[in-house]
């Protein structure tokens, strides 16, 4: 009988990796109903779907994760069978070894088989994060595709393909109700919306052009999100000669559009994401603190401040009075003026 794990063992050295490397012998007998999905931060982020079948875990690497709705199929690359012990494996595969990187369990549970052939596998997954009917179908070579057969779960909606950014109106005076606004620095950078999905980034400028290639340094931001899909509004700002992405709004979060949500709620969602890395950060925001923020902006040589009405929705492509920009050259720090109306 052929050794199903021969290829697996040939690619691994048990003295160099903590992955399970069982000796050759009889395979365990199970119910062929266990699945595991592992998030694999290797040379490029991907997810590994493994299905128990005949004493091993039949495996596919899925670069963008499982598709959340039937409208999109995702690539699935068939890889070598893995031992059943791998269903519990989490850890660091040493750099330089096959699959070097961090492996974590993203979901696990049971599955039912509706069809299994050399070219098509239909299954029903029941896990803590994933539930539904999927089909894997072969295209060419090791390449397969995976398709969700069920409708999206819950109230899921797809991320927007492209949005025009909302822009502030410029005023010479502070609004008469500054406490109704969150006050932020006016950074003076290049506006950019970050679309994150399946660990991949698309960055679009204010005109909607794809500028991802000009900012390859920002791609690790998307990997930090894992499987979470999001759309961020922000700017590329240069600090001490280094470009940094500063995020100040959250427009879409993992299956839900936030455009109609008040800014205050969107801001809480952004803070929950903890957008903070080597070259990306969340912009600070201070509700009601216009005087302190404009003083700090002046001290740091920034062009001014922006106030965002706490209860305002996001209006794509509009210059909206819900956002107020106050240039620094209009400020009189000792005696700040307020609008009369």
141 class by beta-carbon count within 10 Å (0-12 exposed, 13-18 middle, 19+ buried): exposed
* Sequence-ordered alpha helix ranges (H) in the chain: 6-10, 219-224, 263-273, 290-299
What pLDDT score was predicted for residue 142? 86
> Three-class SS of residue 274?
coil
What pLDDT score was predicted for residue 335? 41
Rounded to whole angstroms, the Cα distance separating 106 from 87 reads 11
49 CB contacts (<8 Å, ≥6 apart)?
Answer: 35, 37, 59, 60, 62, 66, 76, 146
Rounded to whole angstroms, the Cα distance separating 341 from 332 reads 19
Q: Helix count (H) and strand count (E) of the chain? A: 4, 20
**Per-residue DSSP letters for 130-190?**
-EEEEEEEEEETTEEEEEE-SPPSTT--PPPS--PPPEEEE-SSB-S-GGGEEEEEE---E
What pLDDT score was predicted for residue 339? 53
What pLDDT score was predicted for residue 329? 64
**In this structure, what token pair is assigned to residue 237?**
């700002």
**Per-residue DSSP letters for 64-81?**
T-S-SSTT--EEEEEEEE
Give me the average pLDDT of each 10-residue run along the chain (341 residues). 90 96 90 97 96 98 96 96 98 96 98 97 97 96 95 89 96 95 97 96 97 96 95 96 97 96 98 96 97 95 97 97 88 46 33
Strand partners, 246: 235, 281
Going by the DSSP 8-state scheme, the letter that residue 95 receives in this structure is T
In sign, the C-alpha dihedral spanning 252, 253, 258, 262 is negative
Residues 196, 65: contact at Cβ < 8 Å?
no
């Amino acid at each position: 009988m052929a050794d199903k794990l021969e290829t697996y063992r040939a690619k691994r050295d048990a003295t160099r990796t903590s992955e399970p490397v069982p000796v050759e012998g009889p395979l365990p007998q199970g119910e062929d109903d266990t699945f595991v999905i592992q998030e694999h931060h290797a040379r490029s982020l991907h997810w590994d779907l493994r299905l128990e079948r005949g004493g091993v875990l039949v495996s596919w690497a899925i670069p963008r994760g499982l598709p959340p709705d039937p409208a999109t199929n995702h690539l699935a690359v068939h890889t070598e069978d893995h031992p059943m012990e791998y269903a519990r494996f989490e850890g660091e595969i040493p750099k330089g070894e096959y699959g070097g990187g961090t492996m974590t369990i993203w979901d696990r549970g049971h599955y039912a088989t509706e069809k299994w052939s050399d070219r098509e596998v239909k299954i029903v997954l029941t896990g803590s994060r994933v539930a539904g009917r999927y089909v894997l179908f072969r295209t060419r070579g090791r390449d397969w595709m995976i398709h969700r057969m069920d409708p999206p779960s819950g109230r899921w909606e797809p991320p927007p393909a492209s949005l025009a950014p909302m822009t502030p109106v410029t005023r010479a005076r502070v609004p008469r109700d500054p406490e109704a606004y969150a006050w932020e620095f006016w950074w003076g950078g290049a506006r950019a919306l970050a679309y994150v999905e399946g660990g991949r980034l698309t960055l679009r400028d204010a005109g909607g052009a794809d500028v991802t290639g000009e900012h390859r340094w920002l791609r690790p931001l998307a990997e930090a999100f894992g499987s979470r899909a999001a759309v961020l509004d922000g700017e590329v700002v240069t600090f001490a000669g280094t470009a940094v992405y500063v995020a100040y709004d959250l427009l879409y979060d993992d299956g839900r559009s936030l455009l109609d949500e008040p800014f205050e709620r969107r801001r809480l969602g952004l803070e929950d994401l903890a957008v903070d890395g080597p070259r990306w950060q969340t912009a600070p925001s201070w509700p009601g603190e216009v005087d302190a923020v404009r003083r700090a902006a002046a001290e740091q040589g920034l062009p001014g401040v922006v106030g965002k009405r706490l209860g305002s929705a996001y209006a794509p492509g509009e210059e909206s009075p819900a956002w107020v920009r106050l240039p620094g050259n209009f400020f009189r720090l000792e005696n700040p003026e307020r609008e009369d109306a």
